[in-house]
Structure formats: structure tokens, C-alpha cells
Amino acid sequence: MYFDRIYRPAEKEQKFAQALSYAKANMTGQWRVTDKPTRHVPTDEITNSIVIGALHQLSLWDEFYESHLAKIRSSELLLRRLFVGPLRYFYDVLDDCGIERQGIVDFNCAVGIQRVDSDRTVLSRLENYLGCRIADE
């Protein structure tokens, strides 16, 4: 693919929350916190099968990454840390890429966590369905 660097998001401990976020983005068209949703999706419309389907898609991408890209990755980092964490994570990527960061004293990004209170309801419902503990993640 001729990339100089490949950065993979570090594995999230919250795969179910990641799957829910992916499912909601597909349903609402809101991929970033700054995007306006194309439609409102009530909590009861986000079914277990939709979240499990999103989890399946995420797992397929993870498997592809492991089999094709893992051997050439530059680094893994938690994207949340890069965009909403301490500035040092952003500096680490710039340094790794050999980009001069003199004069960069602040980094501001519109990326943010889109989690809302009703997500806990969806995760609790999924937890009950699967018979496991996930909603407190």
C-alpha cells in the first residue's frame, strides 16, 4: 500500500461499546462528534442483533489487520489518547514520523467520545441477552 507508517488503534477493552458506537454511526450517519446525524435513532431501535453484527464486522477487520498488516505496523496507540489525551501522545506520533514539532504548543481536535447515557441501556440489554457483564465498561 506504500504507506510510510501504519498506526493501529490499540485494542479497546470495550469492544461491545466500540461495536455499539459503530452500529450507531451506521444508523445515524454521525461518524464524528461534529457531524450532524441524518436521523434520530431511539434506543429500542438499536437491537442486540445490530450490535452483534457490528461486533462481527469489527472482528473481521481485526483479523484482516492481524493477517496482513500487523507485521508492518509502526505502532499501536489508543486513538482516544491521541486526540483527547495529553499532548505528549500527539508529539510521539510527530516524532516517530520525523516531523518537526517546534512551535506546536497546542493541539486541538474536534474528535470526541460520543457516548451518551442511553448507551448503557443498550449495553445492559445486550449483557442480559449474552449472560455476561459488559455494561460497566
Most confident stretch, 1-5, 8-12, 67-71: 67-71
Cell of 111: 474528535
pLDDT at 16 over 60: yes
Between CA 27 and CA 93 the distance in angstroms is: 32
**So what's the pLDDT on residue 128?**
92
pLDDT 10s digits, 32-59: 888 899 999 999 999 999 999 999 999 9
Distance of CA 3 to the CA centre of its chain: 21
